């Protein structure tokens, strides 16, 4: 991978992880900074232009490393947290909320994994009577840049020491080799965001196609790992309802349904302030965005129908409509 500039915080210049990433990339020049916020946060940046040719920023995550998930979000665990070792993504989904949340499209990688481990361990050790889930991949795609970040190697290894804490690795990437270095861990869930091919073509630019994601899921499952299906966001309507049902049949005829860890369904949602920003930077997609957020009874009915079709294959207590 080639970057024009690599921005590095002085404090982590000599870190093992920084060196590891630098060894794997081609770059024009290194620019040192005190805090990543100097590069990442300024408002006068053009997200869409940066997205065409992003730079990379290597930094240390300070202050809050682990967050509670929204109250109503669950895949069956008592306590739920999320964290991000990276901000931004190699893919370019038109509905991606990151482009509304961040001013910069540069890849920001936090390399102080040990600090994440300490914080996660603290939470696990104070919740020994609860089953906890940690979610990764809210602010990036957890697998897509793994060859640079070594996220899987580090975090799968770390979580393998615990019984009561699970890690969900959320992805659209088919870069699954790093997983297979390990014996399958019972407390890791590889969860794929998945949509029918026509939706992928319309909204999920640069992502692996449906069949590739399904094949990856199959391989991961065959190797003995937990898999999760995330129909989130779902774009079902009267028009494409049948396509969604054929899509379900294809998925469930290929996978072992009894071994699926969890299925979630989630509607497209976005804070209004992000949406306004995205409409500004992607005016060509504004028609779609306006349609997405319409609260519509018809959509609710379609989702209910979709849900009841999933119930034919997967036990109801594994399906979550968040
Ligand atoms: S894969 Fe996820 S993080 Fe990446 S662009 Fe798409 S929605 Fe955003």
Please report the atom of ligand 1 found closest to the CA of residue 98. Answer: 8
Q: Tell me the HSE value of 95 on the side-chain side, using a 13 A CA sphere.
A: 22
Both structure tokens of 214: 């399904």
Q: What is the pLDDT of residues 79-136, one digit of tens each?
A: 999 999 999 999 999 999 999 999 999 999 999 999 999 999 999 999 999 999 999 9
111 phi and psi angles, rounded to 5 deg: -100, 0
Domains of the chain, CATH where assigned:
61-84+111-321 (3.80.30.30)
Q: Read off φ and ψ for residue 78, nearest 5 degrees.
A: -75, -40
pLDDT digit string (tens) for 205-240?
999 999 999 999 999 999 999 999 999 999 999 999
pTM: 0.95
93 lines ligand 1 (CB under 6 A): yes
Q: Give, for 227, the enclosing helix (H) or strand (E).
A: strand 226-234
CA 133 – CA 257 distance, rounded (Å): 22
**Which tokens is 90 given?**
């190699």
Tokens representing 82 are: 């999320």
Ligand 1 pocket test, pick from 172, 270, 289 with the greatest ligand atom count within 8 Å of Cβ, gives 172
- Is the model's pLDDT at 39 over the cut of 70? yes
Beta carbon of 89 within 6 Å of any ligand 1 atom: yes
Average pLDDT over residues 189-214: 97
Quick check: CB of 96 below 6 Å from ligand 1? Answer: yes
Q: Is any atom of ligand 1 closer than 6 Å to the C-beta of 98?
A: yes
């Amino acid at each position: 991978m080639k970057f024009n500039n690599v921005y590095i915080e002085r404090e982590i210049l000599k870190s093992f992880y920084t060196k590891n990433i630098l060894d794997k990339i081609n770059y024009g020049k290194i620019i040192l900074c005190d805090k990543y916020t100097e590069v990442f946060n300024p408002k006068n940046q053009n997200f869409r232009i940066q997205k065409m040719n992003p730079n990379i920023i290597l930094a240390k995550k300070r202050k809050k490393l682990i967050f509670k998930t929204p109250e109503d979000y669950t895949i069956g665990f008592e306590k739920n947290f999320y964290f991000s070792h990276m901000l931004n993504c190699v893919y370019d989904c038109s509905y991606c909320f990151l482009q509304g949340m961040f001013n910069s499209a540069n890849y920001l990688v936090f390399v102080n994994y040990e600090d994440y481990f300490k914080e996660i361990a603290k939470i696990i050790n104070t919740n020994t009577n609860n089953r906890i889930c940690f979610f990764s991949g809210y602010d990036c795609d957890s697998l897509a840049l793994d060859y640079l970040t070594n996220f899987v190697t580090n975090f799968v290894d770390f979580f393998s020491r615990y019984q009561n804490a699970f890690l969900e690795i959320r992805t659209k990437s088919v870069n699954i080799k790093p997983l297979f270095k390990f014996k399958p861990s019972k407390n890791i869930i590889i969860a794929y965001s998945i949509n029918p091919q026509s939706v992928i073509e319309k909204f999920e630019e640069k992502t692996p196609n449906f069949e590739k994601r399904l094949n990856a899921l199959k391989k991961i499952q065959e190797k003995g790992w937990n898999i999760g299906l995330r129909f989130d966001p779902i774009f079902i309507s009267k028009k494409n309802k049948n396509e969604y049902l054929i899509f379900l049949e294809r998925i469930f005829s290929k996978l072992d349904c009894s071994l699926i860890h969890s299925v979630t369904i989630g509607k497209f949602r976005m804070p209004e302030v992000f949406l306004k920003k995205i409409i500004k930077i992607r005016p060509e997609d504004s028609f779609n965005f306006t349609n997405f957020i319409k609260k519509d009874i018809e959509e609710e009915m379609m989702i209910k129908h979709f849900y009841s079709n999933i119930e034919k294959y997967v036990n109801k207590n594994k399906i979550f409509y968040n």
